[in-house]
Amino acid sequence: MATGGTSSSSEEGFLSRMALNDNKAGMEGLNRDKINKIIMESSKGSRFYENELKKEQQVNQRIERMMLQKAHITEQQLSKAQAQVEKMTSDLERGRDLSRVIVHVDMDAFYAAVETRDCPDLMDKPMAVGSMSMLSTSNYHARKFGVRAAMPGFIAKKLCPNLVIVPTNFDKYRAVSAEVREVFADYDPHFLPMSLDEAYLDISDHLEQRRGWPEYVCMYVCIAPNMMLAKVCSDKNKPNGQYKLSSNRQAVIDFIQDLPVRKVSGIGKVTEKMLGALGITSCSHLGQEMALLALLFSETSWHHFLHISMGLGSTHIERDGERKSMSTERTFGEMSALKEQFSLCRELCQDLAQDLQKEALKGKTVTLKLKNVNFEVKTRAWTLPCAVATTEELFAVAKDLLKTEIDNVSPQPLRLRLMGNLTLPSPAGLNVVSHWQENTLISPFIYVVYNNNI
């Protein structure tokens, strides 16, 4: 009986992470039970499944600690926190800015759209871009089967046996993205690109009348008073639609009230589950429980929650003149031979060096990202006293980082399925002491990954 209970709990935990998200455009009205059953049956026993269970257990432990902390909160602490929240709310309300028109542009199913442009036969077929290991995106025909981005291809094929999986080609995507960005610059020379297929612009309503977008790329445009709201609107009227949120306080409050917290940028699966444990599922709940959140979460987190509950976000698009980071990454089948690993590491350094040369950049911090066959991700970084940019300079650091990981698992082989290199350009003259940095999560890095699946 205990075993059955544990098994049931494990399955529920896995599905909480991998179940169909029918909030995503193109996935409305699908048979959740049928799709989730297929996901479970095709995943069970795989390394991917075991890794997701491990992540779920870690989240559950965090929730247990949070609930224990909640049980010890006193009325006096709540009253003090409530006063703090009310003061901050009043200050934020006085500073509310509804004068700007912020546009969030999302090229819908971008990689799939580019591949369909080059192969029109894919137009009416369920297709995805990626590999059997992981998908980057899927078209709307595939979404009808529950196939989505960040899903292993082997699971997607179980959901949709006729699915066509096209390998990624980032050279093509960058070329199309560059073409689109020329259009963005016509309206806002200081537009903020977030990735190859997403950007923020500070412009006016006439963007809706724009003609001459690159062929076969569906543009979704959302207009709102700030960046947070513009991003949240992204799933409305897809595909190839527009949505405008009126620039008045009541319209903003009405829009945000019933919005699921998961819809907001910055609230992922883990935070959603932690909030759910507190009975918080919508943005209005955030506002109602803000005093409690101020006691349970970090200052940065609850400040973010408060901004969300009030429909507040940045109204000034600032594009830094300096590129934050550059990276290159490859996903592949299992690789455990040392010669192959070092060879790939050098190739990645060469690709990265070429990208740095094109942008006339150098970097002081070189990072190696690895994912093993159990889907565990590790990053190791080394910060140099002087900036580097050549293949040899990058490889000299990256190969030592790789060797350290190989030595750590010795005498067992290092069994990899992904490798990536990242550099963080630093201002000239910055004096930084060399140090090691190790993480099991990649959240500290905000970057566009040039992901070349083999």
Domain ranges of the chain: 2-62, 73-96+249-309, 326-439
pTM: 0.67
Same fold, 73-96+249-309 and 326-439: no
Q: What is the dihedral of CA 9, 10, 11, 12, to 10 degrees?
A: 50
User: Is 106 in contact with 232 (CB distance < 8 Å)?
Assistant: no
pLDDT at residue number 353: 84
| Total count of residues recorded for the chain | 454
Which of 52, 56, 198, 289 is labelled catalytic?
198
- CATH no. for 73-96+249-309: 1.10.150.810
pLDDT at residue number 244: 86
Closest alpha carbon to 375 in 10, 120, 18 = 18
pLDDT at residue number 406: 92
- Residue bearing tokens 């910060």: 383
> How many whole angstroms separate alpha carbon 349 and alpha carbon 398?
8
- Token pair for residue 77? 């602490």
- Token pair for residue 61? 């432990």
pLDDT at residue number 14: 58
Fold of 326-439: Dna Ligase; domain 1 (3.30.1490)
User: Is 122 in contact with 115 (CB distance < 8 Å)?
Assistant: yes
> How many whole angstroms separate alpha carbon 115 and alpha carbon 168?
9
pLDDT at residue number 47: 78
pLDDT at residue number 237: 62
198 classed as catalytic = yes
pLDDT per residue rounded down to tens, the chain (454 residues): 344 445 555 556 555 566 666 666 666 777 778 888 888 887 777 777 788 888 888 899 999 999 999 999 999 999 999 999 999 999 999 999 998 889 898 888 899 999 999 999 999 999 999 988 889 899 999 999 999 888 889 999 999 999 999 998 888 998 999 898 888 888 888 888 888 888 999 875 454 455 444 554 566 678 899 999 998 887 676 665 678 899 999 999 999 998 999 889 888 888 999 999 999 999 999 999 999 999 999 998 999 999 999 999 988 886 654 455 677 877 777 889 999 999 889 988 988 887 777 667 788 888 899 988 887 888 888 888 888 888 889 999 999 999 999 998 889 999 998 888 776 554 333 222 222 222 222 222 212 222 222 2
The angle formed by the CA atoms of residues 57, 59 and 64, to the nearest 5 degrees, is 95
The neighbour count for residue 316, using CB atoms within 10 Å, is 10
- Token pair for residue 324? 């934050």
